[in-house]
Amino acid sequence: QVQPVESGGGMVQSGGSLTLSCVASGSTFSILPMDWYRQAPGNQYDLVAHITSAGATNYADSVKGRFTISRDNAKNTGYLQMNSLQPEDTGVYYCAIGVHWGKGTLVTVSS
């Protein structure tokens, strides 16, 4: 089975950077798409970034030019590099490998 586990969240000042990691067990990681979702307090889950098994990427308009999604299939690991962070980026970030979701990691950006 695929069991994503996120890490790398924390508190950062506005303008700073964080890199989130998503480590997944299972033999099917390399053929599944990966997504990063964000949930702000009281909000639904919003798609932040997407990457196909082949490496094609898409981003929410709000993070284009600032966030980079990537994956290392040999390590069963995905990443979300977040630069120029702003307070509105605050939320719980979830990694989804196919339909398999992790528990999330909290990112807090202070002004």
pLDDT tens column, 55-72: 999 999 999 999 999 999
pLDDT of 94 > 90? The answer is yes
Q: Tell me what pLDDT residue 43 has.
A: 85
For residue 93 the two structure tokens come to 């970030």
Q: Tell me what pLDDT residue 33 has.
A: 97
Q: Tell me what pLDDT residue 12 has.
A: 98
Tell me 90's DSSP state: -
Q: Tell me what pLDDT residue 26 has.
A: 85
pLDDT of 75 > 90? The answer is yes
Q: Tell me what pLDDT residue 11 has.
A: 98
Q: Which residues contact 49 (CB under 8 A, 6 or more apart)?
A: 35, 36, 57, 58, 59, 60, 63, 67, 69, 80
Q: What's the rounded Cα separation, in Å, for the pair 58 and 43?
A: 21
What band does 79 get if pLDDT is binned at 50, 70 and 90? very high
Count Cβ atoms within 10 A of the Cβ of residue 31 and give its class: 0-12 exposed, 13-18 middle, 19 or more buried: exposed
What band does 3 get if pLDDT is binned at 50, 70 and 90? very high
Q: What's the rounded Cα separation, in Å, for the pair 20 and 58?
A: 17
